[in-house]
Amino acid sequence: MINARALSEKPVLTGDRIRLAPLGLRHAAAFHAGFLDAETRRLTGTHRDWTLAELEAWCAGAAERAERLDLAIEDRETGAFLGELALSQIDRDNANGSFRIALAAEATGRGLGSEATRLLLDYAFERVGLHRVQLEVFAFNARARRAYEKCGFEVEGRMREALHWDGAWHDVLVMAALAPRP
């Protein structure tokens, strides 16, 4: 059974180098800066141009969204914004949810995304009570795929030519992780 309270209570999850904290207005400017980075836009497939005001409104309302969990990834020592992640599209009947993560350009290549992913998966399985967490990753993003595999995700399928980016079509891989069996 899903623990809906675990989604609405917006926890702080602490790892060795990072902290996952409830996404809020204080993260909006750094979040917006990430959307201005061309490589971040490519890796997330972000076609839409978000204004700072739109992201301020999104971040300010994150705590009120009881059916999803939006967290900022912060440096544990400095509090600097390193990215954000979300657990959403919760299917209560089947104990499934969707996951996404976006790191700030300066946070990539250091294992921080894997640390954040593991923290969120532990929470999703142990506190929320999910059985399965899925994500989508672009086939050209081999680094992210390897990181997800290290965290227990497996490729389950391929959506052919589901992303149109820079004049070309790209496949999207569907990956999922299952709760550890007792």
pLDDT along the chain (182 residues), means of 10: 90 97 95 86 86 93 94 96 97 97 91 97 97 97 95 98 95 97 82
Beta bridge partners of 86: 70, 100
Q: Determine the pLDDT at residue 4.
A: 86
Helices (H), the chain: 4-8, 28-36, 38-44, 52-61, 112-123, 142-150
| pLDDT on residue 46 | 87
Residue 25: predicted pLDDT: 95
Q: What pLDDT is recorded for position 101?
A: 96
Give the predicted TM-score (pTM) of the model: 0.93
Model pLDDT, residue 65: 94
CA angle, residues 10, 16, 17, in degrees to nearest 5: 85
Task: Give the count of alpha carbons within 13 A of 95, CB side only.
Answer: 15
For residue 143, what is the enclosing H or E element?
helix 142-150
* Whole-number pLDDT of residue 55: 92
Alpha-carbon gap, residue 158 to 172, rounded angstroms: 6
